[in-house]
């Protein structure tokens, strides 16, 4: 039974929202999960939250950026429209995130998102608020988005299930883009059945998004788990020990375990960041202080100063990506960097497709333990980017993948991810469901569960 069915059996669902209203604001002050919280006294249906880079009609949508403060979309994103059409869901609020999706730890926003297990630790990003909200709310599903690991990473750090579908299976219309060829709207929930339930609602072709495709997703399972040596050779020893225990459990579930080597996969990080930053710098060019959010009223300023004033509202990481992205797509070096990155992506898709035709790739979500805030302050930007080494390959290539919690380490959750071939989305949902039925995962939130 999924959470929606459980909630529907409640005699007095309004009582749940009364209890929720008493505690959610207080918890949000501590965890910074939401940028906007709805009036809970008016809600009666199953609660849904939406990441703050997905447009919601008449509700402020900022992608956690100062430059979009005050932007009120006059329309709903397609995924939001599909959910509203059911008339059986309540809109809980907009979740916090790294600005425009730029980040792995949930710290690149005005309000740092904190882990519900221990507020000294990061929650992961960029869909940090979605993962936090799902971890503290018993009845809840969040619509999130991933570019290079933005669903898997916070799901792993916060002990919930995060699903990133095949690129093109869910419409991106109404999404505030980070990188058009990489962005995928997905789902974060507490269990796989909630993922399946919501995916059935939001997937499908959309006339407003030419990259969306109407293809029936499969659930082909050949009971083979593949470990890519290059993806697991540099992980933390404690994470490796837990991961090998997980592999052993899959073996006991009847899965055949195979090892494969794809040396070329180590090029994924460089390829991803070149493509992502190039596309991000293009997408951010629209924010000029004229049309969206922040308005620069000082029209007497000279041309360059006017736009400098406006774009100073970008955060540090956004500025870094504008500079680097503009550089790699400039005429003088485009063929040296951007064109090669595109070719590398194509080669990776081909190589990984061959492997995924044989089975499912299993790996940890992150190569490191959940870090504390004071630890990541010592990370260089390059070290931060390298922590995405496990989540980038499926995101770069548009393969569906799902992150799920399977253990605890020093009181913090640890997550693994399953990757499958294009359009085989339901198979990995089925496998996680099988895992959940065989090995129960216990929620141990220090802050409790509402």
3-state secondary structure of 139: coil
Q: Rounded to an integer, what distance in angstroms lies between the CA atom of residue 88 and that of residue 46?
A: 7
CB neighbourhood size of 1 (10 A):
9
Q: Rounded to an integer, what distance in angstroms lies between the CA atom of residue 32 and that of residue 95?
A: 9
CB neighbourhood size of 292 (10 A):
18
Given a contact cutoff of 8 angstroms between Cβ atoms, the answer to whether 190 and 92 are in contact is no
Q: Rounded to an integer, what distance in angstroms lies between the CA atom of residue 201 and that of residue 84?
A: 10
Given a contact cutoff of 8 angstroms between Cβ atoms, the answer to whether 347 and 264 are in contact is yes
SS3 content of the chain, % helix, strand, coil (to 5): 40, 15, 40
By annotation, the residues acting in catalysis are 51, 126, 150
Beta strand extents in 165-203 (DSSP E only): 184-189
Instruction: List Cα–Cα distances, 182 to 272, 276, 342, in angstroms.
Output: 9, 7, 12
Instruction: List Cα–Cα distances, 25 to 20, 36, 167, 223, 417, in angstroms.
Output: 9, 10, 35, 45, 32
Nearest CA to 429 among 418, 415, 439? 418
Q: Rounded to an integer, what distance in angstroms lies between the CA atom of residue 61 and that of residue 399?
A: 28
CB neighbourhood size of 310 (10 A):
20
Instruction: List Cα–Cα distances, 410 to 70, 118, 348, 377, in angstroms.
Output: 41, 11, 35, 21
Place of tokens 């000294």: 120
């Amino acid at each position: 039974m999924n959470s929606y069915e459980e909630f529907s059996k409640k005699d007095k669902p309004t009582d749940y929202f009364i209890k929720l209203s008493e505690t959610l604001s207080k918890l949000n002050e501590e965890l910074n999960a939401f940028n906007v919280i709805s009036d809970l006294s008016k809600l009666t249906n199953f609660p849904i939250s939406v990441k703050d880079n997905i447009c919601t009609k008449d509700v402020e949508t900022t992608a956690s950026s100062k430059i979009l403060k005050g932007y009120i979309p006059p329309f709903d994103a397609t995924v939001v429209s599909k959910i509203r059409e059911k008339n059986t869901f309540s809109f809980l609020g907009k979740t916090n995130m790294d600005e425009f999706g730029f980040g792995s730890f949930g710290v690149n926003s005005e309000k740092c998102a904190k882990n519900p297990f221990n507020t000294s630790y990061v929650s992961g990003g960029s869909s940090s608020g979605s993962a936090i909200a799902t971890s503290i709310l018993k009845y809840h599903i969040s619509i999130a988005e991933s570019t290079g690991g933005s669903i898997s990473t916070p799901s792993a750090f916060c002990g919930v299930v995060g699903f990133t579908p095949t690129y093109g299976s869910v419409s991106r219309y109404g999404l505030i883009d980070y990188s058009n060829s990489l962005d995928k709207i997905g789902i974060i929930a507490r269990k796989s059945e909630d993922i399946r339930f919501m995916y059935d609602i939001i997937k499908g072709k959309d006339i407003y998004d030419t990259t969306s495709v109407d293809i029936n997703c499969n659930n082909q399972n050949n009971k083979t788990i593949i470990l890519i040596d290059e993806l697991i050779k540099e992980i933390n020893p404690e994470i490796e020990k837990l991961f090998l225990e997980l592999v052993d459990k899959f073996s006991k579930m009847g899965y055949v375990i195979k090892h494969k080597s794809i040396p070329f996969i180590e090029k994924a990080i460089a390829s991803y960041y070149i493509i992502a930053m190039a596309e991000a710098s293009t997408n951010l060019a629209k924010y000029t202080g004229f049309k969206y959010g922040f308005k620069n009223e000082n029209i007497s300023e000279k041309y360059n100063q006017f736009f400098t004033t406006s774009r100073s509202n970008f955060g540090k990481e956004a500025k870094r990506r504008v500079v680097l992205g503009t550089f790699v797509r400039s005429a003088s070096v485009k063929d040296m960097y951007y064109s090669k990155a595109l070719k590398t992506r194509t080669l990776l898709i081909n190589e990984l497709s061959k492997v995924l035709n044989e089975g499912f790739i299993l790996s940890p979500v992150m190569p490191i333990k959940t870090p504390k805030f004071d630890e990541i302050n010592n990370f260089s930007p390059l070290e931060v980017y390298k922590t995405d080494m496990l989540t980038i390959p499926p995101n770069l290539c548009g393969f569906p993948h799902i992150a799920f919690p399977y253990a605890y380490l020093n009181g913090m959750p640890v997550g693994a991810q399953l990757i499958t071939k294009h359009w085989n989305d339901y198979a990995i949902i089925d496998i996680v469901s099988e895992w959940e039925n065989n090995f129960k995962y216990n929620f141990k939130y220090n802050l409790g569960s509402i």
